[in-house]
Structure 1
Amino acid sequence: MKFIYKIALAAGLALSSFSCDDQLELAPTDFIDYGKAYQSVEDVNLGLLGVYSALPKTTQTSLNAYVADNAKMSPQGRNVGVVTYNWTYTSEDLGAWSAYYVAINRINLVLAGIESVKVNLDAESAEAEELSLYEAEAYGLRAFAHFSLFQSFSESYTDNDALAVPYMRESIISMPVRNTVSEVYELLSLDLDESAKLMDAVALSNEKSRFNRVAIDALRARISLYKEDYAAAIQYSSAALNEVSIASGQAYDDMWTDLEDDSEVIFKYDIVSTDGTRVGGLFQDAGSNDVQFYPTFDLINAYDANIFLDKTQDVRYNTVIMNDATDPVQSSIIGKFRGTTALPFLADVKVFRASEMLLIRAEAYAKSNSTSEAWDDVKELLTARITGYAGEDTGRSILDEIALQRRLELAYEGHRFYDLRRTGEAIIRTDVTLPGTTPTQLAAGDHRFVLPIPQSELFANDNMVQNPGYVQ
């Protein structure tokens, strides 16, 4: 953390510049004069834009796709993601750890700067209300960034005494210890409570590319599912669904194209052509059009197993899987995040959607012995996605059905690896790049379900403890 914060403190000075490459060239500093760095409400807004710039846009997508069983590496590709795909990752790379902590540091700089701006504002003014909204946004984003780290680096999701991640609430150079799982859950709750309190006191903004009031409930619902607090998961997913409804039919497909139907989206990252991020480029090169990762036949066949109707009746299949008869390896390629003809593979990253909330609530109902309510939610999803579905039983248990629907609905959106870990399932690949060479099974409980703490962090912070199974 000391190493990361030397970088991140310097980055916080660059309020008007949001390039990661630029920030790393700045000299580290131990002190920022917040009164000079943040003098107006607009300065605070610029600081928040810097937070959004720093948040990793594709990390969750690539990790969950490459590690699990929905994607296989092209034998003719450039070995993009080969270490992750082969489960040979070590502690040599900063990766997501560094990126999220840079964003967290920027959030803490913004929160400190807000205090200096408040001094010169009339508490009843429109500017003060706008500032409160930005403050609420910052607290929500701090919880979101820490939970994103928690998903990858925490030793456990449910063992309260297990080591999780350092929860940083101020911008300082220090050598923090890893907070425990229970401590992180408590701190997440405190930040989200503060965010909700501030947002509830002002005129709300429902801009979907900013962390909004519905996103607070969506994050609380997701956290509650991981925590196995099913009553809370039902409460918060229901609150989110009261505000944003699941889309139907073509609207699902339109989310991933130039039509950009956002009716089901709760919170997203706006991706523009100038920032260099093309999420679809994780799977297919935007320049050469060469495929780097294909959908596995295991996933493709899962759409057939979904219901007694033909898989082409499922709008998700037609969105997630595309046909390219000219491809030299296989005709089925990954179609999500496909963008447009003019801007291939450019699409916004959907962080929270109503369908995830529906599936969270269904799982929470099922695990609370409210099976009928769980089936109601699942059938609502199937009705919205499958032409001709009329509420028939699927022949599977409710938990098996929910697991299948999460796989089909949220494919390539950053959930699969975490879902398998969360539910204690092994990764079993039946379709791999090089049979006999590519690893096909990662047993439930294997230490590689938890990512290693970066070696540079261990060197810089004497209080940092490595995750089990990796070199300290």
Structure 2
Amino acid sequence: MRHTIIKINGTALWGALLMLALSGCTKLLDKKPITQVVTPNASDSSVTLTGAQSLLQGVYGAFKGAGYGPGIEVNVFDRINNGDVMSDNCYAGGDNQDNIAQDNFTFNSLNSNITRDWSDYYSVIGAANNALFQVAASKDPSLTADMKSQILGQIKFMRAFEYFDLVRLWGAVPLVINPIDASSSESLIKSSGGLRSPVDSVFAAILSDLWAAKGTVIDPGVDPSKYTVTKGVVNALLAKVYATKAPINWDSVAYYCDQVIPHYRLMPRYADLFDINHKDNSESIWEITYDGYSSSVGNWVPSLFQGAGYKKFMTPTNDLVKAFNAEGDTARLNASITFVNYGWPDKYWTTPTNYPVMSKYTDPNNGYNDMYMIRLADILLLRAEAYNNKSDLANAALMVNQVRARAKIGPVVAASQADMTLAIDNERRLELAFEGQRWFDLLRTGRAKAVMNAQKDASGNTLYNVQDFRLLFPVPQTQIDLNPLLTQNTGY
């Protein structure tokens, strides 16, 4: 099929939240899309081709945080905070008490980070829902069926991406994909997410959006911008969803990884992935693009996490540095961590003249660094997991060794399936450090509590006592106060 490329540069457009409680799930490897239809009113059919393109631009803008809207924090800053600081990769750093509470697993429903994230996810989802409703209703003949379906597919993918984070962080959450009824306070509460849908229903909605998107978006390589949603991007997320949704369907993980891998190739040099001269590179599957502070939106997030001068919002752990050193992995260590002279010790690092800071992103001062949402090494290592779960250690090793060879370290050594499981886990940790992946990997493999409770400070003291209920966030108290139909997660 010939596609017209829909460009995505533009400013954020904020929309209303919508809701639908979807139920049921599927274990099929691949499936014809189940379209989530919102029946338009006649008055909503006036969106033109230009208007539809602007709506699409608005969703991309909301996702990335154009104008420093919600996406800049929930999809970038807090992706690292939730994915690395809550894991064995980083300590909180700095003096922000909400960050420290997340690091120490002492957070509650008043934590401002958690409150912000809930709100920001639904703000981006609201922009997507508003755009979907209006584009689907358009009667403009200039908006061809192909262009319309391509736009709708990209938007559905971004909605699915946000729900994937929500369900992993909170479990059951409101499914908001229908127009809000604001005719009364009671109907507003009900239609804006009064009830939390079961986890299986949330995953069913995610898969429905992704199946729909897969059939309509463009092929990989058609658009040089790696922020444009393509079939490669959708298939990569499908692989990650199937590696997370219980029970894990390893056949589906393998299938979708195999749809992705031929279209991308690893960058020859690991460090080049994170400078500003290799944007939209061969390894990138989906990345948020930033154009610097002088443009409409720059990526200010790396400046908060890395560099000397003051203590940043995350500190690499003793355990992570030991893991790099145990592998002799100097290439990825040196590309990820720099040791600086801060001038003060703490309980984590007692030598202040040799204090680690993240240095993975090379432009913390001007805002040009892009942020990877998905890249090939992630998918190669997922494919290795799928091979290993079929007891195919040889092919699992082939996947892992592609990643290790780029890091200039020797082939993986694993004599059993259990050994290979731990080897892949460690490889993902070192390869994807500071990219917001680690905590989600620990959750989906069932290792989060054991790994975190084994962590020690610089003096050998146990750092954490993670309880089962803390593997999920609490529903923000502000949301429960506004909506008495919302229930709280157990333990909070």
> Same fold by TM-score, threshold 0.5 exceeded?
yes
Distance, in Å, in 2 between the alignment partners of 1:270 and 1:417 is 24
Answering whether residue 163 of structure 2 is matched by residue 146 of structure 1, we say yes
Q: 2:120 maps to what in 1?
A: 99
In 1, are the aligned partners of 2:136 and 2:152 still within 8 Å (CA)? no
Answering whether residue 283 of structure 2 is matched by residue 264 of structure 1, we say yes
Q: 1:138 to 1:147 in 2, by over 3 A?
A: same
Distance, in Å, in 1 between the alignment partners of 2:149 and 2:433 is 36
Q: 2:178 maps to what in 1?
A: 170
Q: 2:453 maps to what in 1?
A: 428
In 2, are the aligned partners of 1:362 and 1:375 still within 8 Å (CA)? yes
Q: Secondary structure at the match of 2:356?
A: strand
Q: 2:231 maps to what in 1?
A: 213
Q: 1:202 to 1:401 in 2, by over 3 A?
A: closer
Distance, in Å, in 1 between the alignment partners of 2:444 and 2:354 is 33
Structure 1 residue corresponding to 2:198, chosen from 180, 194, 197: 180
Deviation at 1:285, TM superposition (A): 6.7
Q: 2:468 maps to what in 1?
A: 446
In 2, are the aligned partners of 1:136 and 1:199 still within 8 Å (CA)? yes
Instruction: Give the AA of the match of 1:171.
Output: P
In 2, are the aligned partners of 1:206 and 1:213 still within 8 Å (CA)? no
Distance, in Å, in 2 between the alignment partners of 1:378 and 1:41 is 45
In 2, are the aligned partners of 1:279 and 1:337 still within 8 Å (CA)? no
Distance, in Å, in 1 between the alignment partners of 2:259 and 2:194 is 35
Deviation at 1:54, TM superposition (A): 2.7
In 2, are the aligned partners of 1:100 and 1:149 still within 8 Å (CA)? yes
Distance, in Å, in 1 between the alignment partners of 2:167 and 2:127 is 19
Cα displacement string for residues 307-335 of structure 1 (whole angstroms, at most 9, x for unaligned residues): xxx332xx211111113256542524333
Cα displacement string for residues 10-29 of structure 1 (whole angstroms, at most 9, x for unaligned residues): xxxxxx86388x99xxxxxx
Deviation at 1:239, TM superposition (A): 1.0
Paired residue total: 419
Q: 1:216 to 1:420 in 2, by over 3 A?
A: same
Q: Secondary structure at the match of 2:216?
A: helix
Q: 1:146 to 1:382 in 2, by over 3 A?
A: same
Q: Secondary structure at the match of 1:39?
A: coil
Deviation at 1:296, TM superposition (A): 1.2
Q: 1:321 maps to what in 2?
A: 337
In the TM superposition, 1:57-456 aligns within 5 A as 57-74=76-93, 77=95, 81-92=99-110, 93=112, 94-117=115-138, 119-121=139-141, 125=144, 128-154=145-171, 164-172=172-180, 173=188, 174=191, 175-199=193-217, 205=223, 207-227=225-245, 228-248=248-268, 250=269, 252-261=270-279, 262-274=281-293, 275=297, 277-284=299-306, 288-306=309-327, 310-312=328-330, 315-325=331-341, 328=344, 329-340=352-363, 343=366, 347-386=369-408, 389=410, 391=411, 393=413, 397-425=419-447, 426=450, 427-428=452-453, 430-432=455-457, 440-443=463-466, 446-456=468-478
Cα displacement string for residues 107-153 of structure 1 (whole angstroms, at most 9, x for unaligned residues): 11111111232x12157x5xx53333211101111111111111101
In 1, are the aligned partners of 2:343 and 2:353 still within 8 Å (CA)? yes
Q: 1:200 to 1:290 in 2, by over 3 A?
A: closer
Distance, in Å, in 1 between the alignment partners of 2:333 and 2:236 is 25
In 1, are the aligned partners of 2:13 and 2:127 still within 8 Å (CA)? no
Instruction: Give the AA of the match of 2:370.
Output: D
Q: 1:17 to 1:81 in 2, by over 3 A?
A: same
Cα displacement string for residues 387-407 of structure 1 (whole angstroms, at most 9, x for unaligned residues): 5x3x36367810010110111
Distance, in Å, in 1 between the alignment partners of 2:156 and 2:343 is 46
In 2, are the aligned partners of 1:105 and 1:171 still within 8 Å (CA)? no
Deviation at 1:185, TM superposition (A): 2.1
Distance, in Å, in 1 between the alignment partners of 2:318 and 2:82 is 19
Distance, in Å, in 1 between the alignment partners of 2:264 and 2:48 is 33
Cα displacement string for residues 56-101 of structure 1 (whole angstroms, at most 9, x for unaligned residues): 3222211122212211244x65657222122221112422111111
Consecutive unaligned residues in structure 1, runs of 5 or more: 1-15, 24-31, 155-163
Instruction: Give the AA of the match of 2:373.
Output: V
Which range moves more in the overlay, 403-412 or 44-53? 44-53
Deviation at 1:217, TM superposition (A): 0.4
- TM-score, with normalisation over the residues of structure 2? 0.77
Distance, in Å, in 2 between the alignment partners of 1:395 and 1:305 is 18
Structure 2 residue corresponding to 1:18, chosen from 12, 37, 45: 12
Distance, in Å, in 1 between the alignment partners of 2:372 and 2:85 is 18
Cα displacement string for residues 331-380 of structure 1 (whole angstroms, at most 9, x for unaligned residues): 2433344323752x752110000000011111122122222211111112
In 2, are the aligned partners of 1:204 and 1:213 still within 8 Å (CA)? no
In 1, are the aligned partners of 2:45 and 2:137 still within 8 Å (CA)? no
In 2, are the aligned partners of 1:238 and 1:357 still within 8 Å (CA)? no
Which range moves more in the overlay, 105-114 or 45-54? 45-54
Instruction: Give the AA of the match of 1:399.
Output: T
Q: 1:115 to 1:19 in 2, by over 3 A?
A: closer
In 2, are the aligned partners of 1:105 and 1:170 still within 8 Å (CA)? no
Q: 1:112 to 1:401 in 2, by over 3 A?
A: same
Q: 1:231 to 1:257 in 2, by over 3 A?
A: same
Q: 1:432 to 1:346 in 2, by over 3 A?
A: farther
Deviation at 1:256, TM superposition (A): 1.3
In 2, are the aligned partners of 1:80 and 1:292 still within 8 Å (CA)? no
Deviation at 1:273, TM superposition (A): 2.6
In 2, are the aligned partners of 1:72 and 1:293 still within 8 Å (CA)? yes
Distance, in Å, in 2 between the alignment partners of 1:181 and 1:103 is 20
Q: 1:157 maps to what in 2?
A: none
